[in-house]
Amino acid sequence: MEKPETLAAVRLDIWLWAARFYKTRALAKQAIEGGKVEVQGQGAKASRLLKGGEQLTLRRGEDLFEVQVLGLSERRGPAPVAQALYAESEASREQRLRLAEERRAANAGYRAPAGKPDKRARRLIQALGDLDAL
């Protein structure tokens, strides 16, 4: 049985892909070049060698992750293995979950389509008219 090799450093784009932050290495590289990924508070290149213990800040969509590198891998494995490669700060997790909840709340509820009202919108308008009669 082969002994797993211990890595001293891994390319940043490969690690982001292996840790499942991005679906492909190309997307990881694009995010890095777009300035959405910082290592130790500084911008980085996709070819930068990442070592254990370093701090990463990355923006994916509207989410901001602040993570510490715990392990290195050049292979993309199952999600539980990928999650063991990093530890997200508690403040980062709380803020990300709070913002996600705010986005869900803002998207909740009924929105009438643009243009002519649909059946539900007409009933709501009629109900408002009935309230004015009281």
Check residue 122 and give its pLDDT: 87
Q: Does position 3 have pLDDT exceeding 50, yes or no?
A: no
The share of the chain scoring above pLDDT 70, in percent, equals 91
DSSP string, 65-97: EEEEE----SS---HHHHHTTEEE-HHHHHHHH
CATH topology of domain 10-133: 3.10.290
Q: How many CA atoms lie within 13 A of 6 on its CB side?
A: 3
- Give tens-digit pLDDT for 78-124: 999 999 999 999 999 999 999 999 888 887 776 666 788 888 888 88
Q: Does position 2 have pLDDT exceeding 50, yes or no?
A: no
CA distance 36 to 12: 13
- Give tens-digit pLDDT for 6-26: 788 999 999 999 999 999 999
Q: Does position 5 have pLDDT exceeding 80, yes or no?
A: no
- Give tens-digit pLDDT for 27-60: 999 999 999 999 999 999 999 999 999 999 999 9
Domain extents in the chain: 10-133
The share of the chain scoring above pLDDT 90, in percent, equals 66
